[in-house]
Amino acid sequence: MPAAIIDGKAIAAQIRVALGSEVAEFSGQTGVTPHLAAVLVGDDPASAVYVRNKQRACDKAGIKSTLHRLSAETTQAELLELIEQLNNANDVHGILCQLPLPQQINELAILDAISPLKDVDAFHPENVGLIVQGRPRFLPCTPHGVQQLLVESAAEIEGANVVVLGRSEIVGKPMALMLVQKGKAANATVTICHSRTKGLAEITRTADILIAAIGRANFVTGDMIKPGATVIDVGINRVDDKLVGDVDFAAASEVAAAITPVPGGVGPMTIAMLLKNTVAAARIAANA
């Protein structure tokens, strides 16, 4: 039987509706509208699309969004000056600096400069440290979206063998940290695999839950998947004129019990979790 499709687009829409009600109640109580400031440096087409999708999602949830567009020639000092202005703006609750940045700018320096209280991507070292300790202020958007997809698809996470393909700071590492924690939607046994892992297919075939975030089109083939596993495809790659994930969807669908599509799986959930963090940041500011 073909795998059940985990519809991230539909689940994200439900989350946005709930967030819209939460925002309306919060604004009614405080007179404050949660506000996300997005910074886009340069003319990368994919980045422009991502930012536009985030702005549209903000509008649907009643969250204010402001886009700061800077030229590709922007210096690191100029970008840091803008970040400082946004850090000091009382009406801005979340700051998103769209990656990648032009080569003359040190990404870590910019991410470290964003106030931890406005770091709705959860990239700042202070927020990462809180995640490690199991007391997060914000959860990183893509891993949190994946976690919610697992919950909504009724995947058995507690006690499960989870294999995460990829060790990036944005997905792989925080994903493993979140699933290994004590608590709801966690308590899993997690293995991280990467480009230097030996016997990769043998390891992935042990996974009750396989999360692919390796950045290589159709890398995960059907014979790398345990029959009946849940497969979450974080990858988004362009092959000719088509978007595909890190998983060979057709082959994997014949083996897995449930799988996310690309597009329409993890992507919409990443944006939904960004909105959730922005609302949380507004609450933090209101209680300060």
**Which residues are catalytically annotated?**
54, 98, 121
Query: Is the dihedral angle over the CA atoms 175, 149, 257, 250 positive or is it negative?
Result: negative
In angstroms, the CA 198 to CA 151 distance is 31
What kind and span of H or E run contains 37?
strand 35-41
Going by DSSP bridges, is the β-strand pair 209-212/230-233 parallel, antiparallel, or unpaired? Answer: parallel
Q: Supply 157's token pair.
A: 């996470």
**Under 8 Å CB-to-CB from 33, ≥6 apart: which residues?**
23, 27, 62, 63, 64, 282
Cα 14 to chain centroid distance, Å, stands at: 17
In angstroms, the CA 190 to CA 174 distance is 12
Provide the 3-class DSSP secondary structure of residue 59. Answer: helix
Contact (CB, 8 A) for 16 and 57:
yes
Provide the 3-class DSSP secondary structure of residue 71. Answer: coil
Which residues sit opposite 230 in a β-bridge?
Answer: 209, 258
Going by DSSP bridges, is the β-strand pair 242-244/64-70 parallel, antiparallel, or unpaired? Answer: unpaired
